[in-house]
Amino acid sequence: MTSDTLYSIPVDKADGTTTTLGEYDDKLLLVVNVASRCGLTPQYGDLQALQEKYRDQGLQVVGFPANQFNGQEPGTNEEIQEFCVATYGVDFPVFAKIEVNGENRHPVYDVLTTTPDASGEAGDVQWNFEKYLVAPGGSVVARVRPRESPATDEFVALVEANLPVRV
């Protein structure tokens, strides 16, 4: 799949309407599969902090809730939205719940999971909060496994190195 296709794949918003990631084609896109009842859920706060700090330099975080890892995202789309805003002040888009692995894997993740991580391993998402950085124009520049917090110096440096707007 080409990068143009990543931006043209339909994605459902939490309110039931459909859009694409095309509105972010000039941004550094940080795509994360998220869950509300996971030990890694506090990463929502780190993701929001990145969004706030780097928004004006072209970072856009987007979340895709998935309930495939020990049922850690059981809520409805509406409940997920309420949790994200009330608990972590999330103002980045959190789309409708999807599957990130298996035969019903969302097409966005069909594209993303072909990207290898730092050790060269591609394939299925390992757990909640796996992170993908997509450069403006659509090339996936990094895949970061779930346990690496988006607040680490290494992750922040990766984001800063790929921002489309320098200050």
pLDDT tens digits, one per residue of 35-94 = 999 999 999 999 999 999 999 999 999 999 999 999 999 999 999 999 999 999 999 999
Per annotation, catalytic residue among 11, 29, 34, 38: 38
Position 23 pLDDT exceeds 50: yes
Indicate the CATH number for domain 3-146: 3.40.30.10
Q: Residue 76 class from Cβ within 10 Å (0-12 exposed, 13-18 middle, 19+ buried)?
A: exposed
**What is this structure's pTM?**
0.96
Task: Say how far apart CA 2 and CA 14 lie, in whole Å.
Answer: 26
CB 149 within 8 A of CB 18: no
Domain ranges of the chain: 3-146
pLDDT of res. 3:
52
pLDDT of res. 120:
96
Angle (CA) 49 52 57, round 5°: 125
Is 38 catalytic? The answer is yes
Task: Say how far apart CA 16 and CA 10 lie, in whole Å.
Answer: 12
Task: Say how far apart CA 66 and CA 87 lie, in whole Å.
Answer: 18
Percent of residues, the chain, with pLDDT higher than 70: 98
